[in-house]
Structure 1
Amino acid sequence: MATLPRGRHGLSRAEVAADQRERMFHALAAAMTERGYVATPVAEIIKRAGVSRETFYQHFGSKQDCFIAAYAWATDALRAGFAAGLAARGTPQKRFAALLERYLAALAEDPGRARLFLVEVYAAGPEAMRRRVEVQQEAAAALATVFSARTAQERFACEALLAAIIQMVTARITLGEPEELAGLHPPLVALAASLFPH
């Protein structure tokens, strides 16, 4: 990501701060892809983002604070895909297929962000994991809406489908194979059809 121009640039303080945060999120994701969360020091984030140590600590109290904010950034991007899928028209199976297609495309588009969201969160401490559980609950609720799941068994089927999706996409991202994500679409759509045949 390009750094801000030196000198006068006409951007507001809020725009500059937003740009700095975005650069640090991308830097964190790129560093963790190579080194993992534990082995990524703040100095590496600063170097890759092209910001000063002072700037980093103006935004975040620690590396974990930066990760939590970056996790929200990654979640927002994926949530947008879910919203578009939820808004799709047609049968539950068609709506799920649209939702899944957008989700897989969003992960493949930015593998570093996907790795942060799916893999490195496990190393980032209990607060990060708590947020991950909340996001998974939100996703399961979205699937329940798509499939009009009302019974406990139907809601469990939504959770099981979500678990299958998460496991499979996490494996591809962990192995550095984001180009393989699109190939998951047909079998996962078929799985959903078997769980929710009507």
Structure 2
Amino acid sequence: MAQVLAERGYAATTVEDVIRRAGVSRQTFYRYFDSKADCFAAAYQAAGESLLGQVLERLAAAASEPSADADDGPPHRFGRLIDAYLRTLAADWPTARLCLVEAYAAGPGVLPVRAPLYDTVVDLVAQTLGVEDTEGRLLCRMILAATTALATSAVADGDQSQLDAAAVELNLYVHRLWDAGLLGPRT
């Protein structure tokens, strides 16, 4: 699904396109999925979980590097999170496109799958920043919304330089929010 969507987009993709790319029969497709939308929702779920897993692996690898020995504070940990996320997107443009661009074209049917994954990432941002209060969590949701908007534009354009610029902008603003004391009580 991700490969076909990268070439054709959601609106132009047909079940026949997916069947042909997957090398399965129509009967096999319909044994697992009720429709193109159902197949997309399953692909979105798998892709989102895979991307999240890869981000967590990159974070773990970054944490084990000698330069990461000292805890340099939540804004720097956020920087490592954003770096891991954007590098993961750049490593797999078709999957990134499925999750960030084509999910809008797929319509509201993907929301039941998207919402829990989004909430999981909000939790990760809040944990990374050490935020526990309601206002801070709302700000984490807003940070994730901004991250998603910037990344979606870059992925839609297939532009690595936009992803790099997004990392710089996001890190700058999270540092400013932190310095202003807007990310909740500090421990």
TM-score (norm 1): 0.77
Structure 1 CA distance, aligned partners of 2:118 and 2:12?
Answer: 26
Structure 2 CA distance, aligned partners of 1:54 and 1:179?
Answer: 43
RMSD: 2.1
Which residue number corresponds to residue 9 of structure 1?
none
Asked whether the 8 Å contact 1:100–1:185 carries over to 2, the reply is: yes
1:49 and 2:28 aligned: no
1:115 to 94, 97, 103: 97
Structure 1 residues 179 and 43, CA gap change in structure 2 (3 angstroms): farther
Gaps of 5+ in 1: 1-27
Which residue number corresponds to residue 141 of structure 1?
123
Alignment deviations for residues 37-66 of structure 1 (CA, whole Å, 9 cap, x no partner): 122111011112222222222332221221
Asked whether the 8 Å contact 1:77–1:106 carries over to 2, the reply is: no
Asked whether the 8 Å contact 1:86–1:95 carries over to 2, the reply is: no
Deviation at 1:134, TM superposition (A): 2.3
Once structures 1 and 2 are overlaid, which stretch shifts more, 50-59 or 135-144?
50-59
Letter in 2 for 1:51: V
Higher relative contact order (CA 8 A, sep 6+): 2
TM-score (norm 2): 0.81
Structure 1 CA distance, aligned partners of 2:22 and 2:82?
Answer: 32
Letter in 2 for 1:33: A
- What aligned pairs does 1:1-198 form with structure 2 within 5 A after superposition? 28-84=1-57, 88=63, 90=71, 91-178=73-160, 180-197=162-179
Letter in 2 for 1:105: R
Structure 2 CA distance, aligned partners of 1:82 and 1:109?
Answer: 11
Deviation at 1:156, TM superposition (A): 2.0
Alignment deviations for residues 103-147 of structure 1 (CA, whole Å, 9 cap, x no partner): 111111111111110111122232302322222222111111111
Deviation at 1:86, TM superposition (A): 6.3
Asked whether the 8 Å contact 1:86–1:142 carries over to 2, the reply is: no
Matched residues, percent identical?
37
Letter in 2 for 1:107: L
Structure 2 CA distance, aligned partners of 1:177 and 1:39?
Answer: 22
Deviation at 1:82, TM superposition (A): 4.0
Structure 2 CA distance, aligned partners of 1:179 and 1:35?
Answer: 23
Structure 1 CA distance, aligned partners of 2:51 and 2:174?
Answer: 20
